[in-house]
Amino acid sequence: MLAAVCARISPGDPLAGLDVTDVPEPSPPAGWEVVEVRAAALNHHDLFSLRGIGVSENGVPVVLGTDAAGVTADGTEVVIYAVLGNPAPGEDETLAADFHVLSERGVPGTLAQRVAAPSRNLVPKPAALSFAEAACLPTAYLTAYRMLFNRAALRPGQSVLIQGAGGGVSTAALLLGRAAGLVVYVTSRSEEKRARALELGAAGAFAPGSRLPTRVDAVLDSVGKATWDHSLKSLRTGGTVVVAGATSGPDPSADLARIFWRQLAVLGSSMGTFAEFQEMCAFLEQTGVKPLVDSEFPLADAHAAFRHLEEGAGFGKVVLLP
């Protein structure tokens, strides 16, 4: 079967490590099922894997991808919860000692015609969503949902700043936040992306570093070094910044004086629990929110899809169609 594979580690040029090639059919262990993939979404996680972040030289080749929606052998339409591991009973899956996701630790990922996944990780696809829309849920939308409603614990009427409009997680946070009655501000270097965010319901869209009309209850930051100073300065006293990535670098000045003097909270966040995934799917069905798909590519054109993701020109998710 055809798949997009991390064939080589290539830190400086991640696409040089990407092959689109035939791989063996999935051979699921007990308790796993094969899903016929109808759509699979790309994430920066896939680019990080190609750069060797979370993947070692002895861990390649490996099929990339954490996100997919498809059909099981009995015809059930499903979306795959991507988190793997063996948490203790009642433990948050993302805190388990062996927490990992599809395409890590030698487990083949979703950018293929078929993928094996634990039966317990298969969730009925929300009926109102296309396969392409449903494929966006397991990483970006789950991450945004947890950041907003678990880690930041935001409630209707509160305010949030989302750094870096247009990316998968930031777009998800904008759509989910507006549907939940939050006042949402965004930043972007692109005037076009700022305008698009306003069309989607943002209360304000600003150039990076701009002063907001008011300090916010929370900031969602997956950019890192380039936005960290602005994130801290944009918070009200006692506010919270939730971090789920660092695409511009992981080592900003901590500004500890501002953090302790204004009693700010800094919280990390990674993916989400199975219960949160189910809650999010129900939230989408109840509110009518649909994930925003920027573009769709055939699996055979995975290089073009990855290039589009790497360039950051899109708004929303990039999806492969096997």
Q: pLDDT by residue (tens digit) across 273-297?
A: 999 999 999 999 999 999 999 999 9
Pick from 268, 283, 307: which residue ends a domain? 268
Residue 21's closest CA among 41, 45, 1, 35? 1
Record the tokens describing residue 94, joined without a space.
Answer: 């993302």
> For residues 80 and 24, is the Cβ–Cβ distance under 8 A?
no
Report helix, strand or coil for 93: helix
User: 129 and 147 share a domain?
Assistant: no
Residues 24 and 69 in one domain: yes
Could you tell me if 131 and 9 lie in one domain?
yes
pLDDT at residue 21, rounded to an integer: 98
Same-domain pairing of 131 and 144: no
Which range marks the domain in which residue 112 is found?
2-136+291-321
Kindly state whether residues 15 and 126 are assigned to the same domain: yes
CATH code of the domain containing 20: 3.90.180.10
Task: Note if the pTM is more than 0.85.
Answer: yes
Across 277-300, b (16+ Cβ under 10 Å) vs e yields: bebbbebbeeeebebbbbbbbebe
In-domain check, residue 166: yes
Cα gap 123→33, rounded to integer Å:
12
Do 60 and 20 share a structural domain?
yes
Position 252 in a domain:
yes
pLDDT digits (tens, 9 = 90+) for 172-183: 999 999 999 999
Number of separate domains in the chain? 2
Q: Specify whether 33 is located in the same domain as 117.
A: yes
Q: Is residue 273 part of a domain?
A: no
Residue 274 lies in a domain: no
pLDDT grade for 151, boundaries at 50, 70 and 90: very high
Are 192 and 104 found together in one domain? no
Distance in angstroms between the alpha carbons of the first and the last residue of the chain: 10
Q: Does 108 lie in the same domain as 131?
A: yes
Give mean pLDDT, residues 304-319: 95
Residue 71 lies in a domain: yes
Q: Residue 100's CB: how many other CB atoms inside 10 A?
A: 15
